[in-house]
Amino acid sequence: MASSSSQNNFDLNDVPGVLPEIWRPLFLSQKGPLMTKDSVMLDDAVAASVAQGIMTPRDEKLLADRTDAQAINDSLAFSIQGASSVSNMARRLQVRGNEIQALKAQILTLQRMYMDFRRRNRVLQQENRKLKKVVDSYANDLAKRYAELEQNTNRLQGQHQDLLRAVQNLRVFRPEV
């Protein structure tokens, strides 16, 4: 038992006699190379092709050197790692989805606020136009009143001057007693 557990612990980087090569996954299906429009979730043949392409040549050599029990254990470990990876990706996607939903809600709120502000702005612009008309009307009335007051002031000043001359003329004709 102790020897089998030590045999299950292996280093994937330790493969004797294998020169380092760049592995590029090439997924070929029954129809030919996979395209971006193909779907793993919708087409079983595509899913099988991708699953076959996940194992690297190094992984294949490692599994070939194992006993059936070790290969089963390693395959099981690989499956668990794959499931864990998929689960982590699903959590990340769920978090992203939640972030997107929150951002959509913020956008909707901001759009409503924007529409409310636009409505208020229109109302305020209408009120400003009305107030401008009132102010212009008052300004015109004040200009007319100012002109009238200026004429009255000039007329009153003229009458005042006439009265002063009349008083002086009366003093000249009437000596002081």
Assess if residue 130 is contained within a domain: no
- Return the axis-axis angle of helices 57-64 and 68-173, rounded to nearest 10°: 150
Assess if residue 165 is contained within a domain: no
In the predicted structure, residue 44 carries a pLDDT above the cut 80: no
What is the rounded distance in angstroms from the CA atom of residue 52 to the CA atom of residue 62? 16
Residue 27: the pLDDT is: 63
Its pTM stands at 0.42
- The predicted model gives 27-38 an average pLDDT of 70
Assess if residue 113 is contained within a domain: no
What is the rounded distance in angstroms from the CA atom of residue 97 to the CA atom of residue 167? 100
Domain span holding position 58: 2-65
Secondary structure class of 29 (helix, strand, coil): strand
DSSP at 32: E
For residue 62, the tally of other CB atoms under 10 A from its CB is: 20
Residue 152: the pLDDT is: 94
Assess if residue 148 is contained within a domain: no
What percent of the chain lies above the pLDDT cut of 90? 39
- The predicted model gives 50-61 an average pLDDT of 70
More confident call, 93 vs 44 = 93
For residue 150, the tally of other CB atoms under 10 A from its CB is: 10
Assess if residue 21 is contained within a domain: yes
Secondary structure class of 33 (helix, strand, coil): strand
Assess if residue 44 is contained within a domain: yes
Q: What are 108-141's pLDDT values in tens digits? A: 999 999 999 999 999 999 999 999 999 999 999 9
What is the rounded distance in angstroms from the CA atom of residue 8 to the CA atom of residue 74? 7
pLDDT band at 23 (very low <50, low <70, confident <90, very high): very low
Assess if residue 150 is contained within a domain: no
Q: Which amino acid is at 40?
A: V
Q: What are 146-170's pLDDT values in tens digits? A: 999 999 999 999 999 999 988 888 8
Assess if residue 88 is contained within a domain: no
The total number of structural domains in the chain stands at 1
Nearest to 51 by CA among 61, 40, 42: 40
